[in-house]
Structure 1
Amino acid sequence: MPTILITGPAGGGKTSFAYGLLARLRDAGRSAAYCKTFSPTPGTDDDHAFAAEVLADALGIAVGPSPRPLDGDVAEAAAAIAELRRQHDTVIIEVADGSPVAELAAAVDARVIEVRAYTAGQDWGVAADEAAGHWGARLDMLVINAVPPYRQDIVSEGEAESWAEVDALVIPESRVMLAPTVAQIGEHLDAVWPLEPVNADAIVERFLIGGNIMDNGPTYYGRYHNQAVITRAQRPDIQLASMLPQTTCLVLTGPGEPTEYVKAEARERDIPLLQVFMPTIEAAEALDHLIDTATPHSLAKVRHYAALLQQHAAPDWLIG
């Protein structure tokens, strides 16, 4: 595959797509490199940092130099990409809003993938025409991210002429991609770790308040996977009952500390413990806006998005 440049509006899912595509390429046995060429925060860009610090080792990819400022030199960026291209089968370039995208695409002769988030009421036939008109023959695909289940047929609904000129990939919305990690929950709540942190990268899709229930533990706490249970620190009975394979972590609230027995069970099962010194309801309310802070910087999310690509994208495009 030639050099691929991923562009699109902010918040559309460019980074998730780039990471997922890298994982699919590596699964197919292709050598791959990632390069974010320009950034509004070049010295502290989180996307580049996660790729360099986590994905380079986990996926076995190469990562290009740190991003340049948005008004950085295109020739320098192109030279760095050319060096990566000489050593790897595929180079994935991610570009930020406000950077010289068209100039860079021409300089490295890249195929372009435009990634956009689904928006209700958007005429996607018009969007396809706009993308084709802007990129011409360089446009490889228009990706529509986070599409609700009832709109999965968006490409085939009365817009055949528009789509005839543009390949489209519809990626369904996913609870996993919006889920925080255990570490992000701890940071958001300013929590302490009663034990050494474990599985901090694990994702949490649901929060469940542990209380006095009529059902037994497995019946109540075994309904959902990837859940965090919020309960008082002084309720070891609830804590132990909730330590099931479905539970990702426990958030302990209020005064006191978990008992040694609870700590021992948590260690044995590799279940993270977070503690916040506030009432249970207050802790639950503090999590209300956590979804707004979700990022793609999780290996579990990278693997999940790669699985979405495997399911919804044509295999010959991904590895051809």
Structure 2
Amino acid sequence: MSVLFVTSTSVGSGKTFFSYSLSQCLINQNKIVELIHLVPDQQNDLFDQSYVPDLLPSKIMSVNEFNSSINELDQNKNLIVKVSHHISLGELKNVVQNCQGKIISLLDFSNCVDQIQYLSEFGDELCGVVVNFVTKFGESNLTEDIIPAFVKSNISVLATIPENRTLLSLTVQQISDILGARFFNGNDYSNQLVEHYMVGGFGMDPGEMIFNTLDDKAVIVRGDRPDVQMSALSTEMSCFIMTGGLEPIEYVKYEANEEQVPILVVDSNTLDTMDRINEIQNFSKFDHPKKLNVGCELVTDNFNFEVLS
């Protein structure tokens, strides 16, 4: 039995993404996997179930429960243990040593080098780190500065994961809830992911050509602009966000239904709506089957699986 503890130095570094994606990768390799959410003893009864995505079977265990049951677990299983950030370093090291496990720490690309001193306290239990959210133009910084800094500190970099729009996306329903929008139509398609946002307006180029540059998008436009709306509907899109509290004409509604495009209506104007959307990815969670598929691809392409053997 192998036991791998997935931890991080800060909230939002990608523990859920990596724990679930790695588990799915191992399942795809015909491995027997058990996914566990490890929480402090005093937090077990209060643990927020909304933080447990319904993507793979998993269980919540307190530290005492885990320590008590470790000898009873199937020796043929691979345990992936996502560690709550409320568990102290000393407590985690004791748990890891009790089951002869290993630790992988998820790090944010923006400040990963700053965590080296803290990571050194894990000692021999640290298997390595995964650097997440590597920016499009961050490769030179990664290869010239970041990886050499970890090598110098005898810490293995097991994977570098690039930023991905799908993993940062939200569903139409989630966007509606955050913006306080109402569905004019398309409730049945509210689970579609929105990866991009485009504002509809005047321009010299044909609308279809502009909107065709991005897929899986939300188009923000006033409700009284059927010309812009019809141009957008001729391209791949996830939803409309119609501003000003204005509903579209019946023909636009008909075409949106035909294309399975939900229409959200908000009372705020376009500029205020865009200001709110600028912060919307902060609400993103790893909670959608498409995200699991993409996450599995990212881990398969970038992770060094040899460390698990």
TM-score (norm: length of structure 2)? 0.83
Q: SS at 2:240's partner residue?
A: strand
CA shift at 1:192, angstroms?
Answer: 0.9
- Residue of structure 1 in register with 2:7 after alignment: 7
Superposition RMSD on alpha carbons, in Å? 2.8
* 1:277-308 Cα shifts (integer Å, max 9, x gaps): 22222222222221322222233222222222
What is the alpha-carbon distance in structure 1 between the residues aligned to residue 276 and residue 147 of structure 2? 42
- Aligned residue number for residue 275 of structure 2: 285
1:111 aligns with 2:106: no
Equivalent position of 1:77 in the other structure: 66
Residues 214, 91 of structure 1: CA spacing in aligned structure 2 closer, same or farther, 3 A cutoff?
A: same
Contact 2:150–2:157 (CA under 8 A) maintained in structure 1: no
Question: Could you say what secondary structure the match of 1:184 adopts?
Answer: helix
Instruction: Quickly say closer, same or farther: Cα 1:15–1:159, change in 2 above 3 A.
Output: closer
Q: Could you say which residue in structure 2 is the equivalent of 1:63?
A: 58
Deviations 1:113-146 (A, max 9, x none): 111212358357xx1x653x43333222211211
| Distance (whole Å) between structure 2 residues aligned to residue 33 and residue 94 of structure 1 | 11
Partner AA of 2:273 in structure 1: A
CA distance in 1, matches of 2:8, 2:173: 29
Alignment of 1:167-178 (within 5 A): 167-178=157-168
Aligned length: 298
Q: Which residue of 2 aligns with 1:122?
A: 113
- For the residue of structure 2 that corresponds to 1:228, the secondary structure is strand
The question of whether the paired residues in 2 share the 8 Å contact of 1:207 and 1:230 is answered with: yes
What is the CA–CA distance in structure 1 between the aligned matches of 2:75 and 2:222, rounded to whole Å?
Answer: 54
Identical amino acids, percent of aligned pairs? 23
Change (3 A) 1:80 1:181: farther
Q: Secondary structure at the match of 1:170?
A: strand
Q: CA-to-partner distance for each residue in 1:174-222, whole Å, 9 max, x for gaps? A: 3333333322211111011122424434332321111233322320110
Amino acid at match of 2:98: A
Q: Residue type matched to 2:9 in 1?
A: P
Q: Could you say what secondary structure the match of 1:177 adopts? A: coil
Q: Quote how far apart the aligned CAs of 1:22 are.
A: 1.8
Q: Select the residue among 89, 114, 138 that pairs with 2:77.
A: 89
Q: CA deviation at 1:260?
A: 3.4
Write the mapping of 1:157-196 to structure 2, written as runs, cut at 5 A: 157=148, 160-163=151-154, 166-196=156-186
Dislocated runs of 4+, deviation >6 Å: none
Report what 1:71 is aligned to. Answer: none
- SS of the equivalent of 1:91 reads strand
Tell me how far 1:29 sits from its aligned partner. Answer: 2.6
C-alpha distance in 2, partners of 1:201/1:108? 40
1:29-57 deviation line (CA, Å, top 9, x unaligned): 32322211216583424222x1xxx213x
Give the structure 1 partner of residue 34 of structure 2.
Answer: 33
* Whole-angstrom distance in 2 between the partners of 1:152 and 1:179: 25
Q: 1-side partners of 2:147 and 2:276: how far apart?
A: 42
Q: Are 2:246 and 2:265, in contact at CA under 8 Å, matched by a contact in 1?
A: no
- Aligned mates of 1:196, 1:312 — CA distance in 2: 37
What 5-or-longer segments of structure 1 have no aligned partner?
57-61, 69-73
Superposed, 1:170-319 pairs within 5 Å as: 170-317=160-307
Structure having the larger proportion of residues in strand? 2
CA shift for structure 1 position 233: 1.8
Report the TM-score when normalising by structure 1: 0.81
Give the drift of 1:167.
4.5
